[in-house]
């Protein structure tokens, strides 16, 4: 299973077109999950780029705190099983946070949840994920969790909380790849953050000069991207399809 870090804007989309075929050729992943909440100019996702990712071979697309930044998402999020937003958003929100996708004889469950430390208000991710895992296990033991969170401590805690109950938990949101990909004691694959797909010389995908100006002045600044070298980051997990546990993990950076 290949997880691809937050795809940022047009440069991120170009990296998907350029590098994903080569990664698929080398590692031959059976299933691909990507975070697409920044794919539309850094703010949300629209139907055009949702379909673009499907055409590139992505099986499930997860979102996060930028889910509603592009209002066109309201037009199609309820009509697809391949796009999910954090499950611990209010229940009245469109979309869902758990989906099942068939792969050959197997069924894969993907869950999206969002952290609460330094993040917009949401319901308790621990309580919500418990309910979704219980629901998922009625159909499959291959379960993946995208934990879209800011604090490394919250992500680590969630990893140990779910250890042995899900196949893998991977972090998104901070756009900075961590080197702690591992298998936790009870067999759950884990990484604090799988990183970003977009401009390499940037601050989380945004031109450094924009962020520096914002931090120095405290004034609103229009975020732009600089041309230049880009990166595709993610993580590959090998799963025992009988136990649903992780048996190997490989960090991806191109």
Catalytic residues: 66
- The continuous run of DSSP H or E covering 212 comes out as helix 208-217
What is d(CA 22, CA 31) in angstroms, rounded to the nearest whole number?
A: 15
C-alpha gyration radius of the chain: 17
Tell me, what DSSP letter sits at residue 179?
Answer: S
- For residue 153, give the 3-state DSSP assignment: helix
**Is there a contact between 211 and 203 (Cβ–Cβ < 8 Å)?**
yes
Give the contacts of 84 (CB within 8 A, at least 6 positions apart).
Answer: 60, 61, 62, 63, 95, 96, 97, 98, 99, 110, 111, 112
Residue 194 near residue 4, CB atoms below 8 Å: yes
DSSP-based three-state secondary structure for 125: helix
First to last CA, the chain: 17
143-148/106-114 β-pairing? parallel
- Two tokens, residue 134: 């219980």
Give how far Cα 223 sits from Cα of 95, 190, 214, Å: 28, 32, 10
SS3 content of the chain, % helix, strand, coil (to 5): 25, 25, 45
Report the DSSP pairing between strands 106-114 and 230-239.
Answer: unpaired
């Amino acid at each position: 299973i290949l997880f691809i870090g937050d795809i940022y804007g047009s440069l991120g989309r170009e990296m998907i077109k350029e590098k994903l075929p080569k990664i698929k050729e080398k590692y031959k992943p059976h299933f691909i999950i990507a975070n697409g909440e920044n794919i539309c100019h850094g703010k949300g996702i629209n139907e055009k780029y949702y379909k673009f990712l499907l055409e590139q071979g992505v099986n499930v697309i997860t979102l996060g705190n930028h889910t509603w930044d592009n209002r066109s998402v309201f037009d199609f999020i309820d009509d697809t099983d391949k796009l999910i937003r954090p499950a611990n958003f209010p229940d009245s929100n469109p979309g869902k946070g758990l989906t099942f996708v068939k792969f050959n004889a197997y069924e894969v469950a993907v869950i999206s949840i969002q952290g609460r430390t330094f993040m917009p208000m949401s319901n308790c991710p621990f309580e919500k994920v418990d309910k979704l895992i219980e629901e998922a296990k009625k159909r499959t033991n291959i379960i993946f969790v995208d934990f879209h969170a800011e604090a490394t401590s919250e992500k680590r805690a969630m990893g140990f909380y779910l250890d042995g109950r899900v196949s893998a938990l991977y972090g998104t949101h901070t756009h900075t790849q961590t080197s702690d990909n591992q298998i936790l004691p009870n067999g759950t694959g884990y990484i604090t953050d799988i990183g970003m797909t977009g401009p390499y010389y940037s601050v989380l995908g945004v031109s450094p000069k924009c962020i520096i100006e914002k931090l120095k002045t405290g004034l609103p600044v229009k975020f732009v991207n600089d041309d230049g070298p880009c990166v595709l980051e993610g993580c590959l997990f090998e799963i025992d399809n009988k136990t649903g546990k992780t048996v190997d993990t490989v960090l991806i950076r191109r």
